[in-house]
Amino acid sequence: MHCPYCRNTDTRVLDSRVTDDGGAIRRRRSCPECEKRFSTVEQMQLVVVKRSGTTEPFARDKAIAGVRKACKGRPVSEDDLSRLGQQVEDVLRVEGWAEVPANEVGLTILGPLRELDEVAYLRFASVYKAFESAEAFEEEIAILRAERAAAAIPPVEPERLVELVETTSSTNNSRSG
Ligand SMILES: [Zn+2]
């Protein structure tokens, strides 16, 4: 570990402690050369297992690439997307995954994405939740509507939702073909 101030290659550990969530170790270090102090965090590497069986380090940008597509034309900012990437990584780390299946990453995205934008959630869910039928997908929409009604939020126009579902399905077909 190089000193970030003078690039000296030798640093001294003053203190080590496990972070509150237990997922990392924070070390307070000092540089014997310039005497400045700094902290490092040692974290278990989170690895994603792809459907093909190959693994790669978890990358927030990659994890939310599909979400970015689903958010096209929606009022979701880049900040929202980075926050979502952070949330997803936090959840996976707290759940203690060392090697997380790619579809599990997708499922973890669903909750926070639903809070962020319902339409983007439906588009994304149609891919990652792998709805077995149009009925299952409609059921999900019905649940969302019921929850909205319970929370007294003005609903999205039903016609608009159907249109979105159709757009999503045709996108899926062209992707798999
Ligand atoms: Zn130094």
Evaluate if residue 19 carries a pLDDT over 60. yes
* Strand ranges of the sheet holding 12-18, from the earlier edge strand across to the other edge: 12-18, 24-30, 37-43
| 39-69: pLDDT as tens digits | 999 887 889 998 899 999 999 998 898 899 9
Q: How far apart are CA 96 and CA 112, in angstroms?
A: 19
Quick check: 24 and 41 in contact, CB under 8 A? yes
- The average pLDDT across 163-174 equals 53
Ligand 1 centre and the CA of 9: distance in Å? Answer: 8
Ligand 1 centre and the CA of 40: distance in Å? Answer: 14
Predicted local confidence at residue 86, as pLDDT: 93
- Residues in the chain, overall count: 177
| 95-138: pLDDT as tens digits | 888 899 988 888 889 889 989 998 898 888 887 666 666 677 77
Predicted local confidence at residue 176, as pLDDT: 44
154/58: higher pLDDT: 58
Ligand 1 centre and the CA of 42: distance in Å? Answer: 20
Q: How far apart are CA 107 and CA 1, in angstroms?
A: 36
Ligand 1 centre and the CA of 7: distance in Å? Answer: 6
Ligand 1 centre and the CA of 36: distance in Å? Answer: 6
Ligand 1 centre and the CA of 4: distance in Å? Answer: 7
Q: How far apart are CA 100 and CA 102, in angstroms?
A: 6
Ligand 1 centre and the CA of 14: distance in Å? Answer: 14
Percent of the chain with pLDDT over 90: 39
Q: List helix spans (H) across the chain.
A: 60-63, 65-70, 78-94, 102-116, 118-128, 134-150, 158-176
> Is residue 62 classed as helix, strand or coil in its secondary structure?
helix
43/6: higher pLDDT: 6
Query: Smallest Cα–Cα separation from 94: which of 172, 23, 176, 7?
Result: 23
Ligand 1 centre and the CA of 30: distance in Å? Answer: 8
Report the sign of the C-alpha dihedral through residues 116, 117, 118, 124, in that order: negative
Ligand 1 centre and the CA of 142: distance in Å? Answer: 60
Ligand 1 centre and the CA of 43: distance in Å? Answer: 23
Ligand 1 centre and the CA of 29: distance in Å? Answer: 10
Ligand 1 centre and the CA of 11: distance in Å? Answer: 8
